[in-house]
Structure 1
Amino acid sequence: MPSSSHPRRRWRTLVAGAAAAVALVLAGCGDAGRRDTAPADGAATASDKPRLAIVYYPQFRDGSWGEAALTGAQKLKDAGVIADFAVQENVDPGADGVRALRSFAEQGYNPIIAHSFNYGDDVKQVAPEFPNTIFAYAGGFGDVQDNVADYSQPFWEATYLEGILAAGVTEGGGVAGAGGFDIPVCRAMYNAYLEGAKLVRPETTGSFVAVGDWSDVQMAKEAALAQADQGATMFVGCGQGPTFGQIEAATERGAVAVGYTGDMSGLSEQVLASFTWNLDKVFEEMVADVVAGRTNPTRYYEVGMTKDGMDVVINPVWRDRIPAEVMALYEQKLEEIRSGAFTVAMNTQ
């Protein structure tokens, strides 16, 4: 989950190659300057499909959190669910965030998505000016009121499964969890991973650290190496920086790491698996509310694995190295989670 600092450029290069920065799409239109250009009442017509907008603080093509949003929007456009979408990157929370959100709203974009929990105050400042526009930010707190929506990150469902795999391919050692900050979703990811590992090795223990930054790879690597010195062999990160740092540490120490919100198997052979965040499923629910004319959804958008909100992607180099009985357990739990027969608890302790 991101905050306001920038990912390290060398990791951006590894993940995305020489991808060009995504430009702000703010073509002039006749509605510019209006305080609310979304339909005042009623559902949007088929010929008037919504146009979605996303604001993000670093660059979208980060191979992780930001790119998941960009990919989700593109999928909706390709499927004809939205007419188009616009994005603005490198927007710091605060005055810049307020300006970007207001500009999109004046042009009639709806819904408008602020893709970081740090935009919460900005969204709440701008939203009352445009009561017929849905604003959503990635708070994960269920903090919704009037036309402000929130969307959660039930990532613990996926990390539970990854913990099963990790314990199956390691002979011993503990779990090392890390988050940019010690927030509920990060704790839940770590706890679920540990519980998954215990299904294979009941004696497994672990530790969790808050790095203090979502994007500082070196700081995260140093924390991961310290955990490895204490016997950790399995790493699970919450945030881009913590995850990239863990991957570096796992590569040096021969441990296993997992990717965060994007397939990171190309970064190192020590990446056992990754989970991908299918944000088109989340954004589609917001768009459906716009189409239905629900301008005050007061909704907490939460799309888990029962609705294909995430997938776990096993690194091909590991597939033949996972013991058959572990793979069978993984597939059983995957099916139970997807069907709703089993619910991974959000344990934030």
Structure 2
Amino acid sequence: MKRRHLLASAAAGLALAFAGAAQAQMDKVKACFVYVGPIGDGGWTYQHHQGALDVQKAFGDKVEIAWQESVPEGADAERVMTQMALSGCNIIFATSFGYMDAVNAVAAKFPNVKFEHATGFKREHPNVSTYNARFYEGRAVQGTIAGRMTKTNKIGYIASYPIPEVIMGINSYFLHARKVNPDVELSVVWAFTWFDPAKEADAARALIDQGVDVIASHTDSTAPLAEAAKTGGKVIGFGQASDMAEYKPTPRVSSIIDNWGPYYVKRVGALLDGTYEQADAWEGIAGGEVLIGEITEAVPPEVKAEAEAMRDAIAAGTYHPFTGPINKQDGTPWLAEGEVAPDGDLLGMDFYIEGIKGEIPR
């Protein structure tokens, strides 16, 4: 049930240099997409589908796209990908962490089909590539806004599953809220779902009942923003995965937008022109895969400027959200003064940083 990365074995993957010969040019490509939720979820799957549509726009009749929505992680995913391979798909994008084993199992049976797995780390066959985005960079921007905007000094985070991607986001959000507001306290509610509007709404209400007035979420629907909207302006939040612009200018005061289109266009284009090779990609704000949605007029100009300056510094490579000194939750040192977290530490992150209360579910 986990869509994105798991623990430390992910760390080694990013450092690998991949072999794999470039392919022959293709006159036409059939690109297929496996989605964990509905394309109308307003978040994660919606944004992946926008990327698929970008491929169609970029290449016209040179590309055929196909997709399957709401595919459970497990045996169903293996069945769907097998059917896609048999139907003539040249490249299959599997857009959820829990598809990882299915991707590698099916790839072994169809060596001439290319498989791209979002947020995974296993590349057991030369026709399997992986790709991801540095969402924690966007959380740093959101945390800055949260720390400045909270009136109760209580901010919240709706978490999906206890995997490194989510823990990275929690830590980055809190770290940057605490930097601008030392009195901030963070409450985390684990929803144990990627897309379940009812559960997400319950999680948002639980946070609001605790006095939280700024909510970030790592789930895929607009339900948390809908709950925030019911408070009459007392609670604000952020778009997650897509802009969720229907909730502007408040409660949605900004957003993290997952911009998959450039990657999908690049990879399908490489199949067409014969330059495709196995790869592992992890881009962020600088690469354009993580976008910060408009910061609305509900945010004071000085706070907006501060958040945008952080965004720009991350993009320029002059600031890394995990720069020491940072301790782990139990007070033991993690990063020394000025030290930047290695990618391996981030991809295997299984701990809270100092100041966050509560435990990570195991």
* Secondary structure of the corresponding residue to residue 307 of structure 2: helix
Q: Deviations over 1:171-218 (max 9, x none)?
A: 332221122212211111122122222233122121222112222223
Q: Deviations over 1:45-101 (max 9, x none)?
A: 3x6143311012432122111111111111122122862311122333444322321
* Secondary structure of the corresponding residue to residue 266 of structure 1: helix
User: What is the CA distance between 1:283 and its match in structure 2?
Assistant: 2.0
Match 2:256 to one of 265, 275, 288: 275
Match 1:75 to one of 37, 50, 54: 54
Question: RMSD of aligned C-alpha atoms?
Answer: 2.7
Alpha-carbon distance in structure 2 between the residues aligned to 1:305 and 1:289: 23
* Secondary structure of the corresponding residue to residue 100 of structure 2: helix
Give the alignment of 1:77-92 within 5 angstroms. 77-80=56-59, 83-92=63-72
Q: Does residue 261 in structure 1 map to residue 247 in structure 2?
A: no
Partner of 1:16: none
Matched residue type, 1:249 = E
Give the alignment of 1:17-96 within 5 angstroms. 43-45=23-25, 48-80=27-59, 83-96=63-76
Bigger Cα displacement from structure 2, 326-335 vs 209-218: 209-218
Match 2:172 to one of 184, 188, 192: 192
Point out where structure 1 has 5 or more consecutive residues left out of the alignment: 4-39
Runs of 4+ residues over 6 Å off in structure 1: none
Does the CA contact (< 8 Å) of 1:2 and 1:240 recur in 2? no
Match 1:151 to one of 120, 128, 131: 131
Partner of 2:331: none
Alpha-carbon distance in structure 2 between the residues aligned to 1:236 and 1:51: 37
Point out where structure 2 has 5 or more consecutive residues left out of the alignment: 4-19, 323-345, 352-362
Q: Deviations over 1:122-145 (max 9, x none)?
A: 21221111112221222x242222
Q: Pick closer, same or farther for the CA change 1:344–1:50 going to 2, 3 Å.
A: farther
Alpha-carbon distance in structure 1 between the residues aligned to 2:158 and 2:312: 27
Match 2:196 to one of 216, 220, 244: 216
Alpha-carbon distance in structure 2 between the residues aligned to 1:91 and 1:232: 34
TM (norm. structure 2) is 0.75
Alpha-carbon distance in structure 2 between the residues aligned to 1:328 and 1:119: 40
TM (norm. structure 1) is 0.78
Identity of paired residues, percent? 26
User: What is the CA distance between 1:332 and its match in structure 2?
Assistant: 1.3
Alpha-carbon distance in structure 2 between the residues aligned to 1:313 and 1:295: 31
Number of corresponding residues: 305
